[in-house]
Amino acid sequence: MYLGIEFGSTRIKGIVLNDNFEVIASGSYIWQSTLKDGYWTYDLNEVWVGMNAVIDEIAKTINVKEIKSLGVSAMMHGFLPFDKNGKLLTPFRTWKNTNTTVAATELSKQFAFNIPLRWSIAHLYQAYLDKESYVKDIDTFTTLAGYVHLTLTGKNVLGIGDASGVFPIDVKTKHYNQKMIQTFNDLTDMKLEKLLPGIVEVGEDAGFLTAKGVELLGNKLTVGIPLAPPEGDAETGMVSTNALKPKTGNVSAGTSVFSMIVLEKALNKWYPEIDIVQTPTGDAVAMVHANECTSRIDPWIELFGEAIMRVNGEVDRNHLFETLYEVSLEDTPLGEFMKQKLVEAIIDLKPGMDILLNKEHVKVDYLLGHGGYFKSKSAGRKVMSETLGIPIRLLETAGEGGPWGMAVLAAYRYYNKEQKIKFDKFIEKVFKGA
């Protein structure tokens, strides 16, 4: 049995797969970011409360002591700086924070490479420019997945996909871009190479669950089980949709929305609308991202729900969501209204997608979709396909999203340790059994 846990923006979810890659248990925990001192953050104590709640729910179905491997993924980017004693120097700054405009703009110019506002290096450089007092004490900085993994294993590493949202990756070396590191060092008085977490590729040794880690998890799991390299939610979504090879891609539509296409070759130039990140195996990916998606739709559905409750006194929220999404396909005033809201939720992707498809002529036949936007498979798929100008397909595994993908990576970590199987062959086996 293999456990994948993902820290999403609104939910912590865990999924356990058996040797046939079937879901045999799952658990979830709702959490929310808060605005504190002008920054979006999460209480890190809630990381452990939520993770334990997920494992407790899973334990109602299976014997968690039999879990053979574990993997943790989370929302990408953000900023968690620590001193040499492991003390967090400032509260976790999530990807939602947009105070990094000056830093991101300057780094993009200096690197000739797009550095989005949400990337970890933009947060670090902005803190340096703002002369925040703790900057001089930073020993390392990482992502949320990196923090959880470090705490459970004692190993300060990131999967290459998650690392690519921290600092640009050199596709040839599959390590941080050394030329850009030197440029950053020249801009600051830092030695960035000493602050960055190590990079681990899919299936490689990323550490083992320590006694301290087991204690944090309520002594439910077994000391010594291997952990997969910690990954970002974008990368686990690529795994869950089997969008890992050149000319394949996916689109994740939930709290935020982003499309990802694995590239055959580098783009002709850099664009502020397009991020370049990596798959868990280190292939370059063109990513188009927008901070908001279903959050633009939800208030309207909640409003309809409140109206129904005032009339009937009760409403099935899931049924309401599915119904109103489906209504968007109807040629009625309500249908047109709902279609407009579904389009508004994803329209920010279109400029970047137009660049990729029409200007750079990136080859991809369709995108595989996953996330809450596809609660109604027919409506979400049709509206997005029409809006972006590319066919959208859905897989059953996509409904499980990132946690399923992380569980697959955890399984591969175990299989690779025991049997030394190549990842592409392993993925073929997974999707034959899925």
**CA–CA dist 114, 304 (Å, integer):** 40
**CA–CA dist 267, 261 (Å, integer):** 12
For 30, residues 6+ apart whose C-beta sits below 8 A from its C-beta are: 10, 11
Distance of CA 52 to the CA centre of its chain: 21
Q: Helices in 131-250 by DSSP H: which ranges?
A: 144-153, 160-163, 178-187, 211-216, 233-240
Instruction: Find the distance separating the first CA and the last CA of the chain, reported in whole Å.
Output: 15
Torsion angles phi and psi, residue 404, rounded to 5:
-65, -45
What is the pLDDT, as a whole number, of residue 397? 53
Query: Reading across the β-sheet that carries 392-394, which strands appear in turn?
Result: 275-278, 284-290, 257-262, 249-253, 367-370, 392-394
Asked whether the beta carbons of 167 and 125 are under 8 A apart, the reply is no
292-326 as b/e, with b when 16 or more CB fall inside 10 Å? ebbebbeeebeebbeeeeeeeeebeeeeebeebbb
What is the pLDDT, as a whole number, of residue 433? 56
Torsion angles phi and psi, residue 133, rounded to 5:
-65, -30
CATH homologous superfamily for the domain 243-394:
ATPase, nucleotide binding domain (3.30.420.40)
Domains 2-238+400-433 and 243-394 share a fold: yes
What is the pLDDT, as a whole number, of residue 419? 67
The token pair at 286 is: 């063109």
Asked whether the beta carbons of 250 and 397 are under 8 A apart, the reply is no
373 DSSP 8-state letter: G
The token pair at 34 is: 């808060």
What is Dmax (Cα atoms) for the chain? Answer: 65
**CA–CA dist 283, 57 (Å, integer):** 36
**CA–CA dist 432, 335 (Å, integer):** 38
What is the pLDDT, as a whole number, of residue 184? 97
Q: Domain-by-domain residue ranges, the chain?
A: 2-238+400-433, 243-394
Q: In the chain, which stretches have pLDDT less than 70?
A: 395-400, 418-419, 433-434
For 134, residues 6+ apart whose C-beta sits below 8 A from its C-beta are: 81, 83, 89, 90, 127
What is the pLDDT, as a whole number, of residue 100? 97
Q: What amino acid occupies position 24?
A: I
**CA–CA dist 53, 12 (Å, integer):** 9
CATH 3.30.420.40 fits 2-238+400-433, yes or no: yes
**CA–CA dist 48, 50 (Å, integer):** 5
Quick check: helix, strand or coil at residue 6?
A: strand
What is the pLDDT, as a whole number, of residue 317? 80
- pTM: predicted TM-score of the whole model, two decimal places: 0.88
Strand-strand pairing, 169-170 and 175-176: antiparallel
What is the pLDDT, as a whole number, of residue 252? 86
